[in-house]
Amino acid sequence: MDDSLFLERLTSPQVAAALKEGKTTIVVPCGAVEQHGPHLPLFVDAEHGTRLGAEVARRMGNTLVAPTIRIGCSEHHMSFSGTISLEETTFQAVCRDYCVSLSRHGFRKICMLPTHGGNFRPLRDMLDDLNEAVRPHHSTVRAFTDLLGMLEAWRRAVQEESGLGARVGGHADIAESSIMLCLHPDLVQVDRAQEGHVSGVDESLVERIIRDGFHTVTPSGILGDARGMTETIGERCIAEAAEMVVECFGD
3-state percent breakdown (helix, strand, coil) of the chain, nearest 5: 55, 15, 30
pLDDT, residue 114, reads 98
The parts of the chain modelled with pLDDT lower than 70 are 251
Burial class from Cβ neighbours inside 10 Å (0-12, 13-18, 19+) for residue 4 reads exposed
Same domain for 28 and 138, yes or no, is yes
pLDDT, residue 188, reads 98
Query: Phi, psi (5° rounding) for residue 113?
Result: -125, 100
pLDDT, residue 169, reads 95
Question: Under a CB-based contact definition with an 8 Å cutoff, are residues 44 and 38 in contact?
Answer: no
pLDDT, residue 117, reads 94
Same domain for 135 and 157, yes or no, is no
Total-model pTM: 0.96
pLDDT, residue 199, reads 81
Burial class from Cβ neighbours inside 10 Å (0-12, 13-18, 19+) for residue 98 reads buried
Cα gap 165→155, rounded to integer Å? 5
Same domain for 24 and 98, yes or no, is yes
pLDDT, residue 251, reads 65
pLDDT, residue 63, reads 98
Q: Which residues constitute the domain of residue 230?
A: 148-240
Same domain for 116 and 181, yes or no, is no
